[in-house]
Amino acid sequence: MAKVLVFQHVAAEPLGTLDPMLRARGHRIRYVNFHRNPDAKPEIERYNALIVLGGPQMPDQGKQHSHLLEEMRCIEVALKREIPVLGICLGAQLLAYTLGGGVRRMDKWEIGWYDLKPTRQAASDPLFCALEEPQPAFQWHGYTFDLPDGAVHLARSDSCENQAFRYGPNSYGLQCHLELDERLINRWLSLPEYLEDIVKNGRRGNAETIRKQTHELIGHSTDLSMKIFGQFLRRLGERRSRHVLPSR
């Protein structure tokens, strides 16, 4: 049984499909919600894995959002201690930025469904060998990152070269949202701030178009998330009991 620390930035971006997977394996989950508690100082040394979720902030906005600096400190400690790290969207950008990769705004946002394409290195990766051919994945981001030195490039899309990478044996960054299920995507499509993103930056239709595509494509995305995240969680051990700790 492992203790997993989760960094959350907004209520609408939780663990998604990862939550039942962690619970089924009996791992203990502790959330640090930086939206509610921006001054939190988590002790990463006490945990066996770190998951950093998405959010509206950008990695280079440490002056505006000081918790980003604390998060990157924790990521750096986790890397030094070889604690597995999984970064999703903002989390992937923070992982890349901590490792020295640049971050920048994209010319065009990715919002909606875009083909996730494996690189040549994906076939030999324990997680991304599951991505055998291009497959639609859900995206919602206007920033991208440069691949850090020493990282293994695992996936790309036509609009965003760096969709996934591995650093060392245990740490992964995913720009796409494989953790989202249909309910969570539909929730995003009902929130005013997300709808504003679509109006300003969307290129793949309106909210209703994305909702219909989601209903058609979510099954394959969920299957892929089970395979990829399942392999990531394998290194945390087998199921013994079920506990979820309250937020700090």
Percent of the chain with pLDDT over 90: 91
What's the mean pLDDT in 223-239?
A: 90
Question: What pLDDT was estimated at residue 240?
Answer: 43
Nearest to 122 by CA among 87, 85, 174, 78: 174
Percent of the chain with pLDDT over 70: 96
Amino acid symbol at 54: G
Report the distance separating Cα 220 and Cα 246, nearest Å.
32
Beta bridge partners of 52: 7, 87
Residue-wise pLDDT for 178-222, tens only, equals: 999 999 999 999 999 999 999 999 988 899 999 999 999 999 999
Does residue 49 have a pLDDT over 90? yes
Q: If you ran DSSP here, which 8-state letter would residue 107 be given?
A: E
Question: What pLDDT was estimated at residue 227?
Answer: 98
CATH architecture of 3-234: 3-Layer(aba) Sandwich (3.40)
Nearest to 117 by CA among 155, 147, 146: 155
Structure tokens at 130: 């599951």
Question: What pLDDT was estimated at residue 237?
Answer: 79
Q: Where are the domains of the chain?
A: 3-234
Listing from the earlier edge strand, what are the strands of the sheet with 28-33?
28-33, 3-8, 49-52, 85-88, 171-174, 164-167, 152-156, 103-118, 135-145
User: How many secondary structure helices (H) and strands (E) does the chain include?
Assistant: 6, 9
Q: If you ran DSSP here, which 8-state letter would residue 124 be given?
A: G
Q: Is 9 in contact with 230 (CB distance < 8 Å)? A: no
What's the mean pLDDT in 31-43?
A: 94
Question: What pLDDT was estimated at residue 238?
Answer: 56
Residue-wise pLDDT for 88-144, tens only, equals: 999 999 999 999 999 999 999 999 999 999 999 999 999 999 999 999 999 999 999
Question: What pLDDT was estimated at residue 242?
Answer: 39
Report the distance separating Cα 139 and Cα 146, nearest Å.
17
pTM: 0.94
Determine the longest span between alpha carbons in the chain, in angstroms. 47
Report the distance separating Cα 4 and Cα 218, nearest Å.
26
| pLDDT band with cut points at 50, 70 and 90 for residue 248 | very low
Report the distance separating Cα 244 and Cα 22, nearest Å.
10
What's the mean pLDDT in 43-49?
A: 95
Question: What pLDDT was estimated at residue 234?
Answer: 93
Does residue 245 have a pLDDT over 50? no
